[in-house]
């Protein structure tokens, strides 16, 4: 049953992201691959959503679409009242810069920069005044409990520390939504849990929406509010995790 327009708009104003009938097709030679196939999903503000699925299920493609790194072939992605599919490249860059933060499986820190400089990078892109930057970087690093080793380069840090730096970098512009693509994929299970605990804390303290792609169901169940499972580009199921029952949802 299609929803009425008013209901749609009301939902969109509360939702951090609202995906409607989104598809993303790639053409490889003569064949067309439907990486994301007609997906609709609403993510309320402040939710910690886990996107589950086997590799090739389309979960990362959907994340990239929501993060403004890619554009859908059809459908709309509403965030903050704007349809990402219709934004100009420059507006999309601003959306990535100011509204969202991204954390990757392989951290993607710039190897020749120190921790501090890596975290400062989004501030440079956002043209934040130099005088403000130091405090903002410090604040972000304290939030991930890495305020000490700021002069080190990424290669001198452990995987967990690198991922915490990446989270600090994602937070430094105070985004509304944090996207995490397999954030624990390169970490041992204890460190992975520590990282997700940290994300959970940040979500609670900053009132942030978090969308995490993972294939580790037990971690998703433990930390996320809701699990969305994908297969063959389609959204198969969404269900509330056990956490949501005990009032963990903000």
Partner 1 sequence: MKLRDMTELAVRNLREAILRNSLTTLGVAVGVASLVAMLSLGAGLQQLATSRLSKSGLFDSIFVTAKSNSRGPGSGPPATRTPAAKARPLDEAARAEITKLPNVIEVYPQIRFFTEVRFDGKPFATMVAGMPESSKLTGSFDGMQGKFFSSANADEAILQSEFAKELNTQTSSLIGKDLVLRYAERQALPADAAAAGAQGSGGFSVVPKEKHLRIIGVVETEPASGFGGFGSGRLLIPVLVAETLRAAQVNDLRDVVRDSASDKPAYMSLTVRVKSPSLVDSTEAKIKELGFGAFSLLDASKSLRIFFSVFDLLLGIFGSLALAVATLGIINTLVMAILERRREIGVLKALGAADSDVKQLFFVEAGVMGLAGGILGVIFGWMIGAVLTFATNVYLKRQDLPGVEIFAVPWWLISGAIGFAVLVSLIAGLYPASRAAKLNPVDALRYE
Q: Which member of 57, 163, 165, 173 binds partner 1 (CB under 8 A)?
A: 173
Distance CA 50, CA 52 (A): 6
Q: Which of residues 64-103 bind partner 1 (CB under 8 A)?
A: 64, 67, 69-70, 89-90, 93-94, 96-98, 102
Residue 30 binds partner 1, judged by CB under 8 A: no
Nearer to partner 1, 102 or 210 (CB): 102
Residue 185 binds partner 1, judged by CB under 8 A: no
- CA diameter of the chain: 56
Residue 186 binds partner 1, judged by CB under 8 A: no
Nearer to partner 1, 87 or 248 (CB): 87
Distance CA 23, CA 74 (A): 5
Distance CA 105, CA 214 (A): 10
In the complex, what is the shortest distance from the CB of residue 93 to partner 1, in angstroms, rounded to a whole number? Answer: 4
Residue 151 binds partner 1, judged by CB under 8 A: no
The region, left, alpha or beta by phi > 0 then psi within -120 to 50, assigned to residue 237 is beta
Nearer to partner 1, 19 or 170 (CB): 170
Name the residue with tokens 């520590």. Answer: 194
In the complex, what is the shortest distance from the CB of residue 105 to partner 1, in angstroms, rounded to a whole number? Answer: 10
Q: Which member of 33, 85, 121, 194 binds partner 1 (CB under 8 A)?
A: 121
Contact yes or no for 201/232 (Cβ under 8 A): no
Distance CA 152, CA 6 (A): 52
Query: ∠ CA(163), CA(61), CA(53), 5° rounding?
Result: 80
Q: Which residues bind partner 1 (CB under 8 A)?
A: 64, 67, 69-70, 89-90, 93-94, 96-98, 102, 104, 108, 110, 112-113, 121-122, 124-127, 169, 173
């Amino acid at each position: 049953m299609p929803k009425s327009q008013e209901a749609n708009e009301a939902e969109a104003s509360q939702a951090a992201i609202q995906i409607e009938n989104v598809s993303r097709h790639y053409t490889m030679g003569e064949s067309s691959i439907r990486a994301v196939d007609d997906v609709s999903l609403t993510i309320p503000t402040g939710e910690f959503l886990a996107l589950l699925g086997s590799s090739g299920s389309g979960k990362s493609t959907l994340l990239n679409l929501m993060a403004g790194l890619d554009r859908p072939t059809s459908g709309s992605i509403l965030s903050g009242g704007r349809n990402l599919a219709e934004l100009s490249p420059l507006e999309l860059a601003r959306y990535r810069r100011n509204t969202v933060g991204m954390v990757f499986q392989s951290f993607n820190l710039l190897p020749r920069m120190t921790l501090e400089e890596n975290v400062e990078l989004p501030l440079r892109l956002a043209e934040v005044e130099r005088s403000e930057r130091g405090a903002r970087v410090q604040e972000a690093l304290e939030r991930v409990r890495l305020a000490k080793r700021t002069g080190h380069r990424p290669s001198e840090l452990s995987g967990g520390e690198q991922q915490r730096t990446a989270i600090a970098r994602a937070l430094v512009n105070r985004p509304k939504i944090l996207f995490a693509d397999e954030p624990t994929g390169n970490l041992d299970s204890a460190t992975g849990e520590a990282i997700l605990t940290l994300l959970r804390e940040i979500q609670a303290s900053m009132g942030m929406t978090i969308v995490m792609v993972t294939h580790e169901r037990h971690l998703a169940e433990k930390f996320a509010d809701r699990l969305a499972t994908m297969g063959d580009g389609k959204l198969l199921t969404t269900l509330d995790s056990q956490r949501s029952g005990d009032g963990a949802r903000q």
